[in-house]
Amino acid sequence: MGSTILDVGCGVGRIAIYLQKKGHKVVGLDSCPTAIQIAKARGLQYTLLGNVCELKSSPIFYTFDTILMMGNNFGLCGDIPNTERLLKRLNSFLSPNGLLIFSCLDPLNTDNPSHLAYHEQNCKKGRPPGLVRIRIHYQNIVDKWWDLLFVNVITVNKILENIGYQKVSIYQNISSPVFYIVAKKL
């Protein structure tokens, strides 16, 4: 029997559907109605339309064995305090020894002048260097603006320690600013 998995920010279900085909019970959560419609049409059995930052209780299953936050979704709730609140809430949805698996982009791992200028502008405003304001725009679909936080591995480790996770593994290709972390609920 497979695991129960919450895929936060599942998009059109690429990862969730793959895991479902492997025998897992996967809930795809996304705030974009079109993405959820497509995930359902592609065969994802359990979907939930909603903003993870506003999620108050565990959706569909009482607990999850694993919570995924791929696609650099670690900082979906914006700043560090909101990210910590989210991760504490997600921790309460995990079964004992449950895993949190996520990816994040290290904003400081760049030499791009535009990125460096943006980081400097953020710092002058008292914002973390990797806090970006974005929106999704695809064809005639335009989402509202929202904040997305990118942080480095050192900051992630501090956040995880503060809220009751133990880092198990980190994966990073030396030529990429994106890293992946597997953390276990304590």
Is residue 180 pLDDT above 90, yes or no?
yes
pLDDT confidence tier of residue 112, bands split at 50, 70 and 90: very high
Q: What is the pTM of this model?
A: 0.89
CATH 3.10.450.630 correct for 4-185: no
Q: SS3 string of the chain? A: CCCEEEEECCCCCHHHHHHHHCCCEEEEEECCHHHHHHHHHCCCCEEEECCHHHCCCCCCCCCEEEEEECCCHHHCCCCHHHHHHHHHHHHHHEEEEEEEEEEEECCCCCCCHHHHHHHHHHHHCCCCCCEEEECCEECCEECCCEEEECCCHHHHHHHHHHHCEEEEEEEECCCCCEEEEEEEEC
What confidence score (pLDDT) does residue 1 get? 67
What confidence score (pLDDT) does residue 58 get? 79
pLDDT confidence tier of residue 160, bands split at 50, 70 and 90: very high
Give me the residue spans of the domains in the chain.
Answer: 4-185
